[in-house]
Amino acid sequence: MATGQRVVVACALPALGVGLLRERFVVETGGWRPDLSWLRQHVPGAAAIVADPSVRVDAELVDRAGGSLKVVANFAVGYDNLDLDTIRERGIRAANTPDVLTGATAELAIALMLAAARRIAEADALVRDGGWPAEKSLLGRELAGATVGLVGFGRIARRVAELLRGFEVRLLFASRSEPRERHDAERRELGDLLASSDFVSVHVPLTAETRHLIDATRLAQMRRGAILVNTSRGAVVDTEALMHALRSGHLGAAGLDVYEDEPHVPPELRRLSNTVLLPHLGSATSATRDAMARLCVENVIAVLAGREPPSPLV
């Protein structure tokens, strides 16, 4: 039976999750990426806010919610959109959805490697436009036997390493911490990894330290013709520097699922033919999104029932 507690859903939470919430609470949904005015109007008096990376839950929004707010549940594994210091100071809980999206995001990273290497988006556009280009005009490169560098070696990167075994690649990784499992990957300093890799895949959270981690200097360290893939956060890569490296031919291609100012993708980036551009689809499979929704809702239910959430941040 629903209680009088109110939950504000400020993201495109799947129907499974919304249904589970409505069994217990009064639920207000703002649809996909509700505007700030809707949020400001609806959060006062809410017991919980369900957000995703497009929704900034900062001090202003937390204060507007008031003393009723008990939990902020992020419908994502990343949480750079949450002001955790403020949330912690106000005695509010925060939670995310780790683990359940690992496989889907890792698969997409490999899909981007293959699509960028084999120029799939470029070839698809030509055929759809009625063309049939000569094969030699669309020569790509193979992932099999290549050297792949993983920047960061958390859950998703380690799953990428597992999935790449069948391609018989040489695996390198750069990480601040020592992983429990290496999956036959060699640890390198970031500069050495970039200089040694045919493919570089980025798997770090967005923090003050990792913002523009891959900047003009780092891009210049990469092998000429190398391929960069980013499924982590857009601001980890300096977009202007990336576009310059792609235009100049220093980078062979880029496969991107994330951008600095989502959902806005720079027109110049969209015009570059040596890119594969996806609209943040890392976890976008039906099974994964439902699993994320269930975990997100379980976090809300637990906190509002006075229990520890399954995947707490604060």
Residues catalogued as catalytic: 233, 262, 280
CA dist 140 and 268 (Å) reads 23
> Helix count (H) and strand count (E) of the chain?
12, 12
3-state class (DSSP) for residue 237: strand
CA dist 147 and 103 (Å) reads 21
The pair phi, psi for residue 269, each rounded to 5°, is -65, -40
3-state class (DSSP) for residue 251: strand
CA dist 204 and 139 (Å) reads 31
Helix 286-304 and helix 15-22, axial crossing angle in degrees, nearest 10: 20
Give the H or E element holding residue 20.
helix 15-22
Q: Which residues pair with 148 in a beta bridge?
A: 171, 199
Q: Token pair 């207000």 is at which residue? A: 28
